[in-house]
Structure formats: structure tokens, C-alpha cells
Chain A
Amino acid sequence: MQVATGISVAEIRKQFPILHQEVNGKPLIYFDNAATSQTPQSVIDALVHYYQRDNANIHRGIHTLAERATTAFEATRKAAQGFINAREVEEIVFTKGTSEGINLVAQAYGRKLISEGDEIIITGMEHHSNIVPWQMLCQQTGAKLKVIPVAENGEIKLEDFEALLTEKTRFVSVVYISNSLGTVNPVEEIISKAHAVGAKVLIDAAQAAPHHPLDVQKLDCDFLALSGHKMYGPTGVGVLYGKREVLEAMDPYQGGGEMIRDVSFDGTTYNDIPYKFEAGTPNIADVVAFKAAIEFVEGIGYDFLHQHEMTLLERGKEKLYGIDGFQPIGTAENKASVISFLVDGVHPFDLGMWLDAKGIAVRTGHHCTQPLMDHFNIDGTVRASFAVYNTVEEIDTFAEALTEIVKKFRK
């Protein structure tokens, strides 16, 4: 595949050293991208460079290394601001990932501004990380959690959401793209409808960030959380976006260094946003290297990403759907490049083990969405999730391997 800008998948693949290896004697085919994506050489180089040249604690040091580390750290904040089109750089809070971002909001916003009798709405396809923090908040405050039902094809209906909205709705937290099903949710409509009743909205963009352009001003969401490691970046770094006025209204999440202005035994004053939410020495190296991942995604561009991933998805459907007993789980019309499936009479675990023996990495299980699996009345699925470095040839190999494996169970 080649586009006008001269980007090719072959060239992209060359930037990922990890892909060029054999697993169980077969060339690695990595289809577990929704769990974590691989990192290009530029991200690895940035990590190494940081530790070889710039490592120091940030923000308060006056020496040269501290200055360099601080500059690099804050440069990523600027890059993240541009990446999601936040109005101000102070609206970017670094976290260790999407889960921490959601927990931060549930606690720092929720405990202060949500109380007994208030209602919080999520969808039935949320990752546990967008369920449990709200359940915890409900236990702490007496608020009530309501769930938008998921249809058989893995979509939610806006009218079902509207039916749940009341004057008591204080918060709506929804996933942009489902990790288990690939469903792309109509978040713009959800946000505007939630705002109409005065509720705040958080968008879980963990799966969206690698596939879909994010513009928080256009979306008008109050919060958005994403993870670096799902978008070709390092693990242990994430971004929480929050509108300035909302972040300022919140209490700090954790206490410690960095998040304070003055501390005395009589009382403490807190730092400004975003530092108020970044207690302790952050994951400096990974934040610094995350900038290279943002640049990688921006360098390719979402047009190419989308076009290529849709090619992979269509090829997957074409090659896989005809396999004996193949049962796709999640067939939403607007869907990211994820194929979750079952094969009649074969346990997902057996499929996953066999695929691994053939060098193909997929995920099996409930994908941290147990309530969704319960809804479909299944224990789990096999999930193949594609990234920009995957090829149609890999999909073909995958389909051939799966066909062969299924035959073993059809004696």
C-alpha cells in the first residue's frame, strides 16, 4: 500500500525492530495491538537518549541536566496539547495511563462534586477501568450508576442513552472505541446531550487515540483519557485532558512533592494545574519518549492510518467470516480494526494457544469487559486487533492458520 505522501507499510514496518523475529519457529504476526502496540525505533531511541544524556529530576533543579529533562518533559505536554487540540497546555495532566486518568477524575472530581442521589452514566461495553472507579465513587458518595444497554451487534442506541438522562445526571463516562468489539460510539451526540442536562463528560480514548483523530475542543468533552502504550508509545504514561475550569474546581488527587505551592504544619496551598495533579516524581523518561510516539502518529497521519486499518478490517472479514463455525462478536457499522470472534465448538483458549504455536499473537478471554461478556452470555472471545504495521498478507496467513486449526477440532 502506498499513498501520495510516500508512506508505505513496508517502510513503517522497518521502524519496528520487535516485529522482525520468529516466535515458535514462525515469523511473528502481532495482532494484540488493542492490548498494547509496539514501539518504533524513534521511541526506543528517545528513551535511551534520555537515560544516556538528560536524566535528572524535573522542575526544581537549577543544573543543566535538570533543565534539559524539564524542557523535554514539558515539550511532550506541548505535543500532547497539539495532538488532542486542547486550548491550553495546562489542561494536559500526565498519568500512568487511562485507568489512572479515570480514577483521578472519579476521586478528585467525583468526591468533591458528586453526592448522594446523583447519577452517573456509563455504557455496557466499558472496560473495567471505566466501571470500577465509578462503582467505588458510588459506594463512597451514595450516587447511582446507570448503564446504557448494548445491542446484539455491539452498538448503543442514542434513545437508550436519552432515556437514562435525568436532571440528576451529574456525570457521563463513555468509551470512544470499544476494546472488545471495536464499536465506535457516537460520542459527539452523547456529549451534547449530556451537557444539555448539565452533566460533565469523560471520554475514554484509550483505543481511539491510535485510530481516530482527537479534537477535544470540537468534541467539547470535559475530560478525555488516553494511554501512551496503545498508540506506539511506552508503557506507564498517559494523558488526562480536562477543561481548565473543571480541573481548577477539583481537589488534588494525591498529595506529595510537585503538587504543592507551600507546605507548613498549619496548612498547605496547592500548585496550579496541571501540577496540582502530578504528585511525586513522574515517569519522566516515558513521558519524554511519548513525544516521539505522538510524532510517529502525526507523521503518518490519520488518513493513512484509517485507510490502511479499514483495508485490514475488510480483508479480515472477507477471509475469516467464511471459516467453519466462525462467529464474529461485535458487528457495529462504525467499527475500528478489531475482530473479536468465537468458533463453534472450540474454546477461545485453545484457539489462542494454537495461534501462538503458529507465531500469531492474539488475545483471548474477557478483555477486561466481563459485564459485556455476560451480556453476550459468553466467557470471552478471541480478539485480533490490527495496527498500522500489519499487512494484508499477515491477515491471509492468519486466516489460513485458523482454518487449519479449526479442522483439528472437527474430527
Chain B
Amino acid sequence: MSTIAEKQKEIVEEFSMLDGDMEMTINYIMELGEQLPEMTEDQRSEENIVKGCQSKVWLTAADEGGKVKFIADSNTAITKGLVSLLVRVLSDEQAEDILKEEITFPQQIGMNRFIGTQRSNGFAAMIKQMKLYALALSSKTETSA
């Protein structure tokens, strides 16, 4: 099993312990968000805003020793927690794995029930943006190699 798939499995297990309780789930999501480092003012730029999200989400990526490192933030505590899940799953991975792996955990943890369809559109926009970053970074690596 790839590390992306493993990380997704871990998340699904963690959320299953919350037993579908909305308050416990939000609490947990917020705790996760608190652990995500804040972006600097410079990083919170217009160009790093992910379009399609209801609240503000900023996302950027860098190549760190052949792996993609994502940095993300949000202006709302709950969204930041949700964003942290995606960073956890996709950060520090090879670009080709990020492009290849299917992101299944949002459906598995019933993200729709917790964030509504509008939010999951934002989630989809975020996943798409992360894959685009991976693609951009991988082609850069190929060109320079």
C-alpha cells in the first residue's frame, strides 16, 4: 500500500471513532487545524487563493528533495482543519504518486454530511489545485534533469 493510501486509511479510522457525532467531529477537525502551521502574510496572497471555496483557502507548494511539500491555510478554523487533512495525505510525497492516487477519504468519512455539498466542491477544487502543483513541479524536475 502506498503511503498516500495508508494515510487515507488512518484518517478513515480516526473519524470512525467519532461515531458520526457532529460536535465531536467539528472539535476534532478544529484541533487538527490548530496543528497546521500558519502561513505568513506573504504566502496569504491573492494568487495562492484556491477558487471554489466558500471561505478563504490559501495553498502553495514547493519541491523539497524530490518530494512535494504543501503549505496551506484558511481564514476559518473548521476549513483549516479540513485543509490540514489534505496536506497530511498529500504533502511529502512524490509528485507522480500525488497525480496517480485517488483521494477517497472525504467520501469515506462522510465529508458531505459534515460540510455540505458546497463545501465538498471547495474540497474538490483544493484537490485539483494540489494535483496541478504536483504536475507543475514534476515537469519542472523533468526539464531540469
Contact = CB atoms under 8 A, between A and B. Distances in A.
Interface of A: 24-25, 346-347, 349-350, 353-354, 356-358, 365, 408-409
29 contacts: A24-B23, A25-B22, A346-B77, A347-B55, A347-B75, A347-B76, A347-B77, A349-B54, A349-B55, A349-B76, A349-B78, A349-B79, A350-B76, A350-B77, A350-B78, A353-B26, A353-B78, A353-B115, A354-B23, A354-B26, A356-B22, A357-B22, A357-B23, A357-B26, A358-B23, A365-B54, A408-B27, A408-B30, A409-B77
A361 to B, nearest CB: 12
Chain B's interface size range is: 10 to 19
Contacts of B27: 408
Contacts of A350: 76-78
B31 to A, nearest CB: 11
Contacts of A354: 23, 26
A380 to B, nearest CB: 10
A354 B21 CA distance: 12
B6 to A, nearest CB: 29
Nearest to A347: B76
Nearest to A346: B77
Nearest to B33: A350
Closest 7 CB pairs of A and B: A347-B76, A357-B22, A24-B22, A349-B76, A357-B23, A349-B55, A350-B77
Interface string B22-40: 1101110010000000000
A356 B116 CA distance: 11
A408 B29 CA distance: 13
A25 B78 CA distance: 20
A164 to B, nearest CB: 34
A408 B26 CA distance: 11
Nearest to A356: B22
Contacts of B22: 24-25, 356-357
A365 B30 CA distance: 20
A25 B115 CA distance: 16
A358 B21 CA distance: 11
A265 to B, nearest CB: 47
Contacts of B77: 346-347, 350, 409
A356 B22 CA distance: 9
Interface in B22-73: 22-23, 25-27, 30, 54-55
Given A347-B55, A356-B22, A409-B77, 6 more contacts: A24-B23, A347-B75, A354-B26, A357-B25, A357-B26, A365-B54
Nearest to B27: A408
Contacts of A346: 77
Nearest to B76: A347
Interface in B102-134: 115
A24 B110 CA distance: 14
A356 B113 CA distance: 11
Contacts of B25: 357
Pick the most buried of A25, A346, A353: most chain B CB atoms within 10 A of its CB. Answer: A353
A354 B22 CA distance: 9
Contacts of B78: 349-350, 353
A409 B78 CA distance: 11
Contacts of A24: 22-23
Nearest to B34: A411
A148 B90 CA distance: 50
Nearest to A409: B77
B49 to A, nearest CB: 13
**For B25, B27, B54, B77, which residue has the most chain A Cβ atoms within 10 angstroms?**
B77
A24 B22 CA distance: 6
A379 B78 CA distance: 17
A354 B79 CA distance: 12
Contacts of A408: 27, 30
B8 to A, nearest CB: 23
A136 B45 CA distance: 32
A25 B26 CA distance: 14
A339 to B, nearest CB: 21
B28 to A, nearest CB: 12
A357 B78 CA distance: 12
Nearest to B30: A408
Contacts of B75: 347
A350 B27 CA distance: 11
A225 B97 CA distance: 56
A347 B33 CA distance: 14
A365 B25 CA distance: 23
Contacts of B55: 347, 349
A346 B78 CA distance: 11
A187 B23 CA distance: 44
Contacts of A349: 54-55, 76, 78-79
B24 to A, nearest CB: 9
A377 to B, nearest CB: 15
